[in-house]
Chain A
Amino acid sequence: MSDTEQHGATPALELSHIAKAFGAVIALTNGTLRLERTSIHALVGENGAGKSTLVKIIAGLYQRDAGDLLLDGELVDFRSTAEAKAAGIAVIYQEPTLFPDLSVTENIFMGRQPRGALGVIDRRAMRTEALALFDRLGVRIDPDRPTLGLSIADQQIIEIAKAISLDARVLIMDEPTAALSGVEVERLFAVSRSLRDEGRAILFISHRFDEVFDLCDTVTVMRDGAYIATSPIESTTVEEIVRQMVGRDVTTLFPKLEAEIGHDVLVVEGLTRPGVFSDVSFTVRSGEIVALAGLVGAGRSEIARAIFGVDSYSAGTVTLNGDLLRRNDPASAMRAGLALVPEDRRQQGLVLESSVARNATLAIRRTLAKFGLITDGLENASARIWASRLEVKTSALDTEVGTLSGGNQQKVVLAKWLATDPKVLIIDEPTRGIDVGTKAEVHRLLSELAQQGLAILMISSELPEVLGMADRVLVVHEGRITADVPRAEATAESVMFAATHSEAAA
């Protein structure tokens, strides 16, 4: 630790009290982070804790509203990603950002290719340098092939090669291991360690605690857009970090109504889609709210889409009230009584330019039509019932949906599906992007619907919502259900632990 203390006065990168809001949505209130040289620093936090926003501010993609960003002790302002890069900060995003049509070599050196006379790019020098980089990383990738068709792992290697060739002082990796296999993770770690030993500062964002403890020397926890704590890795534990990640009052947020739980409605057995999810089995009973918890990318939305028939699956069955649903056939799933409220309601759930009435009756157009025609009167009559039941706050039914608040938009989507008289409601991130006041209302609605006998499958990344609303919590980790926790036993710690631990699967 003496080494760190030597550099203690000027860390490679220091952020203090960074704040950032997007319109009314506050993404960061207190982004604080201190990256030392010769160190691999982990940044952990729940989905939506503000990690990615923080990274994008460091990268120069977003501009901070307040706070200080110091590079080698000097205050800096990056107005573009190019400026941050020039200052020696390399960022590897969750999704590699390569140019598929261009060669591997060109991807590494784009914008700063070695040049000869007349500014002509020296392709031979560039290629030699690329080969040297790959040698150093111990990988074999053809430098002349286009990056199209490379695996995520190799794309990430190219991103790392890019960062090394930049001679970056600060290297930021945003969930680099999410798509990697065991061998590939090992290779990445070996490279990371050797980069650290050269004196670089590395920030490693991950949800996998085993990796954090394996690789990093320091860990910083964020929650709700704010800094919580930084500790040396040897003086903390998984339990401690989880407590810091979720530590907040979750008891009184959502008053859940008691519902009578009845017979099995939705039965999913052995559902498998290779590479996405495997052997997913569970049941949802009438009156029951079952939450699918887990990290973003664990495969929850994909499971929902497969059940509804939007995506296909290779094995397994879905039955609704005893009737087998055909795979890949959303129309028959809807007829059977399944409804899906997607995560991205603006893209997938609503026609933003159309009226509230039209949107609310979108899913029942066939039954609503008289002699094949739908009149405004028919639309309004049907929409009015649901709009009032769900308390959609709008002056008129012909208001454009795009102008409503997030909460009211969500209610219109709900109205649309409830009008089909479903037996099972699958709802993906019911309160994402909705302000706190309206959130409670959406929860009240869901609770009431369950009381009326609807079976609800809720996907949520917000732990308080999961714990507050669900009768049962199914935790998905890397495409498998790794825990089935009844309401009484569900705690933030137990759910978070199952969501982040691969061992729980075994």
Chain B
Amino acid sequence: MNPVLQRLTRFVTARETGILLALVIVVAITTIVNPRFLFSGDGFRDLLLTPSILLLVAVGQAIVIITRNVDLSVGSVLGLSAYLTGRVFIDLPWLPWPAVFLIGILFGGLLGLLNGALVAFAKVPSLVITLGTLYAFRGINVLWTGSDRINASDMPTDFLALGTSALAGIPYLTILAIVVLVIAGWFLRTQRAGRELYAIGSDPSAAHLYGLKVTQRTLAAFVVCGALAGLGGVLYAARYGTVNSQAGSGWELDAVGAAVIGGVAIFGGSGTVWGAAIGAYLLLTISRALPVVGVPDFWQGAVVGALILGAIVLDRLLALRTARRLRDVHARERKEVTS
């Protein structure tokens, strides 16, 4: 088979392609019902902009899930980081505003380090640890924020502009999210450390026997996930202009949902951040499309749920089919060898 055709085949059969197709169909149908959904300045911008922050968080989540862990605290980390961003503008007005990005990323990374350390050293499943830190971080947020909230007037206009404006029709936020996505995707695919994350998630005890640095890599995955949620918090402040103590609550489920819809196996070892990113777009685009096509609000949760269940069932079916195919191929090869 020639290389171009081979690449094309791989693209068409990739798990991510199916999700991309679903996204295209959703956009197409909604646009037919209401052309403004895509063919208007705001419509096109929102299509790209709305899922951008979730994309970042979902990429971090996917990295953690690939190692057979999960980080449920990302919504709380995002909320804390968003409020911190506002406080930095109010309390340290002399600081050049781009510095908040660094602060948000470091802060999120630190919270991720805490999660990772608890998981790696206390040997408690990450589901339990991060469920705990989900509430703990949110509690700290409520304690700190109280009934206060950050308003748009507290933040520099340049910073706020970043959250909504665009370069050649593509929002800055989306550009940033894609850059992060490309780097993460490249790293996971081409670097030894990236491949080891898959190995660890595929069989943790084999990874240990193999002599891989399981603890170190797991820790790093949580730090990256936290840092991306921290970055997401900064962008949240820029995008929405107001931050109260509930910012980002529920995002952890959207992030896990996006990763699962995008084909990241919940038991680790397979899937890509590309899938998770497309999953984030599909998840939020469907939520926005439903009212346009006339589906009442209260059905939205059910549709998202059906989407996640559908994705899981699809993955299971694909996995079973692959396993059967691999077994058959194998049996055939063995027959040839022995005969």
Residue numbers of A with Cβ under 8 A of B are 59-61, 80-85, 93, 97-102, 106, 110-113, 115, 118-121, 139-142, 145-146, 148-151, 154, 183
Contacts and interface: CB of A to CB of B under 8 A. Distances in A.
Interface stretch (B40-48, B52-60, B131-139, B325-333): B325-333
B127 interface: no
Contact of A140 (B207, B326, B337): B337
| Max chain A C-beta neighbours (<10 A), residue from B201, B265, B322, B326 | B326
A141 B207 CA distance: 22
Contacts, number: 93
B206 A121 contact: no
Nearest to B336: A140
A60 B211 CA distance: 9
Nearest to B331: A151
16 contacts: A81-B208, A93-B209, A99-B199, A99-B203, A99-B206, A101-B202, A102-B195, A110-B199, A111-B212, A112-B192, A113-B195, A119-B191, A120-B191, A121-B195, A146-B322, A154-B330
Given A97-B203, A98-B203, A111 B210 contact: yes
Nearest to B209: A97
A84 B269 CA distance: 26
> Which bracket fits the contact residues of B?
20 to 34
Given A99-B202, A110-B212, 8 more contacts: A82-B213, A93-B209, A97-B210, A101-B201, A111-B211, A118-B190, A140-B333, A154-B330
B192 A80 contact: no
Contact of A101 (B196, B269, B333, B334): B269
B270 interface: yes
A447 to B, nearest CB: 40
A110 B338 contact: no
Interface of B: 190-192, 195-196, 198-199, 201-203, 205-213, 265, 269-270, 322-323, 326-327, 329-330, 333-334, 337-338
A318 B17 CA distance: 53
Contacts of A146: 322, 326
Contacts of A121: 190-192, 195
A182 B201 CA distance: 34
A233 B246 CA distance: 75
A106 B207 CA distance: 13
A145 B326 contact: yes
A59 B209 CA distance: 9
B211 A82 contact: yes
A112 B210 CA distance: 12
B187 to A, nearest CB: 10
A120 B188 CA distance: 10
Nearest to B271: A101
Contacts of B323: 148-149
B38 to A, nearest CB: 37
A118 B190 CA distance: 9
Contacts of B338: 183
B2 to A, nearest CB: 16
Contact of A99 (B190, B207, B213, B333): B207
Contacts of B201: 101
Contacts of B333: 140-142
A269 B323 CA distance: 35
A98 B210 CA distance: 9
A97 B333 CA distance: 22
A85 B326 contact: no
A145 to B, nearest CB: 6
Contact of B269 (A102, A140, A154): A102
A99 B333 CA distance: 21
B218 to A, nearest CB: 15
B198 A101 contact: yes
A148 B330 CA distance: 11
A403 to B, nearest CB: 21
A314 B203 CA distance: 32
A115 B190 CA distance: 9
B114 to A, nearest CB: 26
Given A115-B192, A149-B327, A99 B198 contact: yes
B220 to A, nearest CB: 15
Contacts of B322: 146, 148
B195 A110 contact: yes
A59 B210 CA distance: 10
A336 to B, nearest CB: 37
Contact of B326 (A80, A111, A113, A148): A148
A183 B333 CA distance: 14
